[in-house]
């Protein structure tokens, strides 16, 4: 292309072939549009299960049944596995028999207390009568000592009987505790799902022996709702906190190939520290995931929407040029000549750029062919294509 004019804008711009008395310069133009512009931060994130449960057996035994298929969606309290319960049932029956024996022993000890108390009472009364007769000289002192000793012995027997009663009661409590423990262990012979979620790989089969708290029999991920985890530069933390004060911020996510529909959630977590190695802050968005499109470990393109700038003026990125006095745009006037207007740019929205000042909605701007222009050049216009999805690349400052 035979053209002069350097950067083509503002003061000190050189003359192009389209200036003066030359013919009209062919250019491509677009119209400045007024629309609501979302202010976004775009990053790559990963899907994280809302809750992950590692299911293990709490007792030792043989797996006797598996009641789901790998990958099934299971409900809370749904039966997953059974373990051979016969050893625990036998132990429970023995413990219940021991409890019955202990209760019988308690009844026997209490009966013995009543019998010995009656004997001790009779012996005590006899000793008192004998003592009176000894004092009157009717009976010998040896007979009085003998009856007193017999009453004291029966008193000691009553105390022993009471101790036996307490021992029997303690044994009953021990037997009951053993029964309760065995009932708990027996309940562990059926493993239920602790949450709603999707099951993973099953590491045991029917007939395998499991030990308590060792083998992970299956992992369950709660995927409704689900987290999407991502990190943003620490420089954006102030903006995020400021906009969060007005309410929850929406988080948009789509697969990296862009074929799936956009899933929408809300920002629910900001980490309490900045990663010094990367200078970023970890955030989490919570998604309902009703259609189960989000999968733990999946990589996503994540958009955190901070706010929406209403009635913003946008032009294609390539319309903005850099001159000696700053950025400017060639605007086509009604007489098909151009003027260079200095502009102040805002955020970039995909292929468009927000113009904060210098351009009004409906202005026709040059998007291609600026190198052959200077202020006052006459142009021959052709319509160009506008950049597409507003909000896909927001959150970055505009540049040419």
Of 119-123, 225-229, 271-275, least confident by mean pLDDT is 119-123
Nearest to 59 by CA among 182, 205, 237, 169: 182
More confident residue, 259 or 287: 287
Of 110-119, 166-175, 196-205, 277-286, least confident by mean pLDDT is 110-119
Nearest to 66 by CA among 54, 52, 83, 51: 83
Interatomic CA distance for residues 49 and 36, integer angstroms: 34
Q: Is the pLDDT of residue 310 over 70?
A: yes
Q: Which positions ≥6 away from 57 have C-beta within 8 Å?
A: 81, 83, 188, 191, 210, 211, 212, 213, 214, 215, 217
Q: Are the beta carbons of 266 and 251 closer than 8 angstroms?
A: yes
Of 60-64, 91-95, 150-154, 376-380, least confident by mean pLDDT is 150-154
For residue 119, the model assigns a pLDDT of 82
Per-residue pLDDT tens over the stretch 115-130: 878 887 877 888 778 7
For residue 22, the model assigns a pLDDT of 60
Q: What string of H, E and C letters represents the secondary structure of 56-91?
A: ECCCCEEEEEECCCCCCEECCCCEEEEECCHHHHHH
Per-residue pLDDT tens over the stretch 39-64: 888 899 999 999 999 999 999 999 99
Q: Is the pLDDT of residue 349 over 90?
A: no
More confident residue, 81 or 161: 81
For residue 15, the model assigns a pLDDT of 39
Residue 173 CB neighbour total at 10 angstroms:
11
Which pLDDT band, with edges at 50, 70 and 90, does 229 fall under? very high
Per-residue pLDDT tens over the stretch 181-190: 999 999 999 9
- Segment 355-366 shows an average pLDDT of 92
Which pLDDT band, with edges at 50, 70 and 90, does 134 fall under? confident
pTM over 0.85: no
Share the mean pLDDT of the chain. 85
Q: Can the peptide bond before residue 225 be classed as cis, meaning omega within 30 degrees of 0?
A: yes
Q: Is the pLDDT of residue 366 over 60?
A: yes
Which pLDDT band, with edges at 50, 70 and 90, does 260 fall under? low
Q: Which CATH superfamily is domain 41-49+221-309 in?
A: Efflux pump adaptor protein, beta barrel domain (2.40.30.170)
For residue 386, the model assigns a pLDDT of 53
- Segment 338-344 shows an average pLDDT of 93
For residue 395, the model assigns a pLDDT of 38
For residue 16, the model assigns a pLDDT of 41
Q: Is the pLDDT of residue 83 over 70?
A: yes
Interatomic CA distance for residues 50 and 265, integer angstroms: 13
């Amino acid at each position: 292309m035979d053209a002069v004019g350097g950067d083509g804008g503002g003061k000190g711009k050189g003359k192009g072939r389209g200036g003066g008395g030359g013919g009209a310069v062919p250019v491509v133009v677009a119209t400045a549009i007024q629309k609501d512009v979302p202010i976004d931060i775009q990053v790559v994130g990963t899907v994280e299960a809302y809750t992950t449960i590692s299911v293990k057996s709490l007792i030792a035994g043989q797996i006797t049944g598996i009641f789901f298929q790998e990958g099934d969606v299971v409900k809370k309290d749904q039966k997953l596995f059974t373990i051979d319960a016969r050893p625990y049932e036998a132990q429970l029956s023995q413990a219940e028999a021991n409890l019955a024996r202990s209760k019988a022993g308690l009844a026997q000890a209490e009966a013995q207390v009543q019998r010995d108390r009656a004997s001790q009472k009779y012996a005590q009364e006899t000793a008192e009568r004998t003592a009176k007769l000894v004092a009157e000289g009717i009976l010998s002192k040896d007979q009085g000592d003998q009856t007193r000793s017999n009453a004291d012995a029966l008193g000691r027997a009553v105390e022993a009987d009471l101790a036996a009663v307490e021992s029997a009661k303690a044994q009953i409590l021990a037997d009951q505790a053993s029964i309760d423990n065995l009932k708990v262990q027996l309940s562990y012979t059926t493993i239920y799902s602790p949450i709603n979620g999707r099951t993973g790989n099953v590491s045991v089969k029917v007939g395998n022996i499991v030990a308590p708290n060792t083998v992970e029999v299956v992992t369950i991920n709660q995927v409704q709702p689900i987290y999407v985890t991502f990190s943003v530069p620490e420089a954006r933390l102030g903006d995020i906190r400021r906009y969060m004060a007005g309410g929850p911020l929406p988080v948009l996510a789509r697969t990296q190939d862009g074929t799936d529909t956009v899933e929408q959630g809300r920002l629910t977590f900001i980490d309490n520290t900045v990663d010094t190695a990367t200078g970023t802050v970890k955030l989490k968005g919570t998604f309902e995931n009703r259609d189960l499109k989000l999968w733990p470990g999946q990589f996503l393109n994540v958009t955190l929407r901070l706010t929406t700038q209403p009635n913003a003026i946008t032009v294609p990125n390539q319309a903005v040029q850099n001159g000696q006095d700053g950025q400017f745009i060639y605007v086509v006037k009604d007489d098909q000549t151009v003027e260079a207007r200095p502009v102040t740019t805002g955020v970039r929205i995909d292929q468009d750029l927000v113009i904060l000042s210098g351009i009004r909605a409906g202005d026709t701007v040059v998007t291609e062919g600026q190198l052959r222009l200077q202020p006052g050049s006459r142009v021959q216009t052709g319509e160009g294509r506008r950049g597409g999805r507003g909000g896909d690349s927001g959150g970055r400052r505009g540049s040419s």
